[in-house]
Amino acid sequence: MEKSLIILKPDAVQRQLAGKIISRFEEKGIQIVGCKLMKITMDLASEHYAPHKGKPFYEGLVNYMTSSPVIVLVLQANGVIAMARKLMGATFGCDAEPGTIRGDFGGSKGFNLIHGSDSPEAAEKEVSLFFKPEELVDYTLTNEHWLFGDND
C-alpha cells in the first residue's frame, strides 16, 4: 500500500475547513493511518522545505507554515499519491478546477490550503519527518473490497 503525507496548512485550519477537506479523502475511500494537530517548528519547516531553500518564496513559505497550527495526515491506498493530488487540484486556488479542494475553497496564490506528497520517495521522507512509526495505525477498512475490488 502506498502512503502520502498531507498537511492541512494554517489557512485551512484557521478557516475551519479541516472537516470538509478530510471528508473528501474519506469519501474517496482513502484510509487515514496517521493524524495529528501540531504547530510546525522553524527547524521542521526548514527541513521539510529544504528543496526550496534559496528560492524567492522560501522564507515566506516557512513563516506561513509556522504561523498557526496545521493538521498532518498520513493517507494510505493503492495509488494514493495520484488520487490525493487530483483531489487537491492545481497548486493555486485561482487556477484549480471546481470540484477539487483548492478549486472549491481557495482563491489565493499565497495560501493554498494543503500539501500532498508528490512521489513515493518524497512521501517516505515526509512521513518520517512528521510521524514516528508507532504513531501510524495498521488496520483494515471493512469496506475496502467494495471500494477498490480485488484487482488493486
Dihedrals phi, psi of 37, to nearest 5 degrees: -95, 130
Centroid of chain to Cα 56: 23
Q: 96 and 37 in contact (C-beta within 8 Å)? A: no
Q: Is 115 a catalytic residue?
A: yes
In this structure, which topology does domain 2-136 adopt according to CATH? Alpha-Beta Plaits (3.30.70)
Q: 25 and 61 in contact (C-beta within 8 Å)? A: no
Q: 127 and 2 in contact (C-beta within 8 Å)? A: no
Residue spans per domain, the chain = 2-136
Nearest one of 16, 110, 99, 4 to 63, comparing CA atoms: 110
Average confidence (pLDDT) over 139-152: 81
Dump pLDDT digits (tens) for 84-93: 999 999 999 9
For cell 510521524, the residue is: 131
Looking at the DSSP bridge assignments, the partners of residue 72 are: 7, 36
Average confidence (pLDDT) over 5-11: 98
The catalytic residue among 48, 52, 115, 145 is 115
Dump pLDDT digits (tens) for 38-78: 999 999 999 999 999 999 999 999 999 999 999 999 999 99
